[in-house]
Amino acid sequence: MRADELPVPTAASLALAGAAVVDRDPLLRAVLRSIAEWYDVWRAADGDPKASRLDQTYAAGCATLGRQVRAELPGGRELAGTAVGVDGDGRLVIAGPGGEEAVGAGDVVHLRPSR
């Protein structure tokens, strides 16, 4: 997509990132191959995210871990703190004033660092 075609100003596109190939077919095939490979590794590890290294791979690419966040939780509750990890059930772990808490549902907002 060109800049004027993006749905929101913060969206990105392969073309704007300077990708050599922007054809969706090879991209989709590559994504599906990667998913299939990770699925096979995960199954071979009996669904264990640690044994399959899926947890490490996810954490390495996660832009949220290590950042100050606010989780807007169901029922109007909010939790603010540092995103410190993802637990074995795939929940975001936030270290806040009351200790660490795993969040399984809600909207997570990245906060600007306080000065």
Task: Please give the structure tokens belonging to residue 15.
Answer: 């073309």
> d(Cα 94, Cα 82) in Å, to the nearest integer?
5
Which positions of the chain have pLDDT values less than 50? none
pLDDT at 110: 92
What pTM, to 2 d.p., does this model score? 0.70
Percentage, residues of the chain above pLDDT 90: 61
Within 1-77, strands assigned E span 68-72
pLDDT at 115: 66
> d(Cα 49, Cα 77) in Å, to the nearest integer?
29
- DSSP-derived 3-state class of residue 57: helix
**Structural domains of the chain ordered from first start:** 3-58 (no CATH), 63-110 (2.30.30.100)
